[in-house]
Amino acid sequence: MENKLVRYQQSGHFHFVTFSCYQRRPYFRSRAGRELFEHSLEKIRIRYGVTIFGYVVMPEHVHLLVDEPKKAILAKAIQALKLSVSVQQERQPFWQARYYDFNVFTHRKFVEKLRYIHRNPVTRGLVAAPQDWLWSSFRHFAYGETGRVEIESQWTFDRRNRAAAETHVSESRRGAPA
Average pLDDT of span 143-157: 90
Looking at domain 14-175, does it have CATH number 3.30.70.1290?
yes
Average pLDDT of span 1-10: 51
Strand partners for 14: 104
pLDDT, position 167: 73
- Residue 178 predicted with pLDDT over 90: no
User: By percentage, how much of the chain surpasses pLDDT 70?
Assistant: 87
Alpha carbon distance 66, 141 (integer Å): 15
Q: Residues 164-176: pLDDT tens digits? A: 777 766 666 666 5
Domain map of the chain by residue range? 14-175
pLDDT, position 5: 46
Contact 87, 14 (CB under 8 A): no
CB atoms within 10 A of CB 97: 9
Q: Which of 44, 52, 51 is nearest to 80 (CA)?
A: 44
pLDDT, position 123: 98
Alpha carbon distance 9, 150 (integer Å): 22
What strands lie across the sheet with 52-57, from one edge to the other?
A: 52-57, 61-66, 14-20, 100-104
pLDDT, position 170: 63
- CA-CA distances (angstroms) from residue 11 to 64, 68, 69, 73? 17, 8, 11, 10
Contact 44, 75 (CB under 8 A): no
Alpha carbon distance 75, 77 (integer Å): 6
pLDDT, position 126: 98
9-18, 81-90, 106-115, range with the lowest pLDDT: 9-18
Q: How confident is the model at residue 153 (pLDDT cuts 50, 70, 90)?
A: confident
Q: How confident is the model at residue 51 (pLDDT cuts 50, 70, 90)?
A: very high
Alpha carbon distance 70, 16 (integer Å): 17
Q: Which residues contact 141 (CB under 8 A, 6 or more apart)?
A: 54, 114, 118, 151, 153, 155
- Residue 46 predicted with pLDDT over 60: yes
Q: How confident is the model at residue 21 (pLDDT cuts 50, 70, 90)?
A: very high
Q: What angle separates helix 74-87 from helix 31-48, to the nearest 10 degrees?
A: 140
